[in-house]
């Protein structure tokens, strides 16, 4: 039986952080055995923030090395760079003809970005979900492993895929679903600066590539409060975030121990942060070592990128041909 197809990507705008890992990459690793996986580096998407050529190149190399260091296996999964597959941008152009200004303007990620970079509200930001849809449906994906913050973008993909199918009376595109391995809710890894999610653009990220000293410093700086004064009280958001991150990286018994201390008003945030920092360090240190090794091996990186782009193009070319036939493009020569 054919394996279901999976597509997901990450923008090369910095180092992979714990949000990327637990929101996305962890599911990539779990899926690569039993699914037909395409994992890519969304370098075209990253142009919406105008990286310099140097930053773009180093970002792509870094994420590629980090994918490999995390354990994504180029023999099992197709790992590729978005710009190596020009069929994606061709499909994006076609999808743009059926994407409407109103719906694009209403997307939360567009509104957020327009607020964050008011001097650069470009058309690429507006049509970001259309390019994302092209990434996904060009491989006829059934599942997309992403974090909670991508839920709305993925809903747009589903809408564009359905719209294309309906318009051309076809079922060329499966309607892709968000995916978490155990059917749990999509993950949101909190930032440790009081509120919201961990993210590159939020400037609050703990990276897989950070050295232990930096990790300890970042965790010790996490926002908390003066501590509970009443037994069994509810945790305020910054404290809840600290617990949520601990739930993700630490042993359940350790979390329980701090939880009980909180309930009894005996918690010492300093101790909790020290424990959390050490648990993060034990998790990231071996990955960091592998990143360093892989980054030193240009020939290996080139080989993986070439192999991935060939496999990804094979699938993209086949879908694009079907799409162009459906739209009505006919060669006159």
88 in Cβ contact with 138 (< 8 Å): yes
Q: Which of residues 19-38 bind ligand ADP (CB under 6 A)?
A: 19-20, 23-24
Q: Does 113 bind ligand ADP (CB under 6 A)?
A: no
Whose Cβ is closer to ligand ADP: residue 241's or residue 275's? Answer: 241
Q: Considering CB distances under 5 to 8 angstroms, the limit depending on partner class, which of ligand ADP, ligand TRP, none binds residue 189?
A: ligand ADP
CA distance 224 to 204: 15
- Nearer to ligand TRP by Cβ, of 5 and 250: the residue is 5
What is the phi/psi pair of residue 113, to 5°? -65, -40
In sequence order, the 6+-apart residues with CB closer than 8 A to the CB of 13 are 46, 49, 51, 59, 200, 201
- Asked if residue 10 binds ligand ADP (CB under 6 A), the reply is yes
Site for ligand ADP in 198-227 (CB under 6 A): 198-201
User: C-alpha angle 14/183/10, rounded to 5°?
Assistant: 15
Rule CB under 6 A: is residue 136 a binding residue for ligand TRP?
yes
Q: Which stretch binds ligand TRP (CB under 6 A): 6-14, 221-229, 246-254, 302-310?
A: 6-14
Round to whole Å and give the CA distance between 123 and 131: 12
Rounded Cα gap, residues 255 and 238, in angstroms: 16
CB of 210 to ligand TRP, least distance (A): 20
274 contacts which partner out of ligand TRP, ligand ADP, none, CB within 5 to 8 A by kind? none
Please tell me whether residue 242 binds ligand TRP under the rule CB under 6 A: no
Q: Using the rule CB under 6 A, is 8 a contact of ligand TRP?
A: yes
Determine how many CB atoms are found less than 10 A away from the CB of residue 311: 17
Which are the contacts of 79, defined by CB distance < 8 A and separation ≥ 6? 39, 40, 64, 67, 68, 72, 304, 305, 308
Active-site residue list: 113, 197, 200
Rounded to a whole number of angstroms, the minimum distance from the CB of residue 225 to ligand TRP is 31
Exactly one of 17, 45, 139, 158 binds ligand TRP (CB under 6 A); that residue is 45
- Contacts with ligand TRP by CB under 6 A: the residue count is 14
């Amino acid at each position: 039986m054919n394996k279901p197809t999976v597509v997901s990507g990450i923008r090369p705008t910095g180092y992979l952080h714990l949000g990327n890992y637990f929101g996305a990459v962890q599911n990539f690793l779990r899926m690569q055995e039993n699914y037909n996986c395409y994992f890519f580096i969304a370098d075209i998407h990253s142009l919406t923030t105008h990286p310099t050529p140097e930053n773009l190149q180093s970002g792509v190399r870094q994420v590629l090395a980090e994918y490999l260091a995390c354990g994504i296996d180029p023999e099992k999964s197709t790992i590729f760079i978005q710009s190596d597959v020009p069929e994606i941008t061709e499909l994006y152009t076609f999808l743009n003809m059926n994407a409407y200004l109103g719906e694009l303007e209403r997307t939360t990620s567009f509104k957020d970005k327009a607020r964050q970079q008011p001097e650069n509200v470009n058309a690429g930001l507006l049509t970001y979900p259309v390019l994302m849809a092209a990434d996904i449906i060009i491989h006829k994906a059934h599942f997309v492993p992403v974090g909670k913050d991508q839920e709305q973008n993925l809903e747009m993909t589903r809408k564009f895929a359905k719209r294309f199918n309906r318009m051309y009376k076809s079922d060329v595109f499966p309607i892709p679903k968000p995916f978490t391995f155990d059917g749990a809710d999509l993950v949101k890894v909190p930032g440790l600066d009081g509120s919201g999610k961990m993210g590159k653009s939020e400037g609050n990220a703990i990276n897989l590539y950070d050295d232990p000293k930096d990790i300890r410093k970042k965790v010790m700086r996490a926002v908390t409060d003066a501590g509970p004064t009443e037994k069994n009280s509810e945790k305020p958001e910054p404290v809840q975030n600290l617990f949520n991150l601990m739930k993700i990286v630490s042993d359940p018994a350790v979390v329980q121990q701090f939880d009980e201390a909180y309930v009894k008003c005996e918690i010492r945030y300093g101790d909790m942060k020290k424990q959390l920092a050490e648990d993060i360090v034990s998790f990231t240190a071996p990955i960091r070592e592998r990143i360093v090794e892989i980054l030193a091996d240009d020939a290996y990186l080139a080989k993986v990128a070439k192999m991935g782009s060939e496999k990804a193009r094979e699938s993209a070319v086949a879908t694009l041909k079907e799409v162009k036939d459906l739209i009505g493009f006919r060669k006159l020569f």
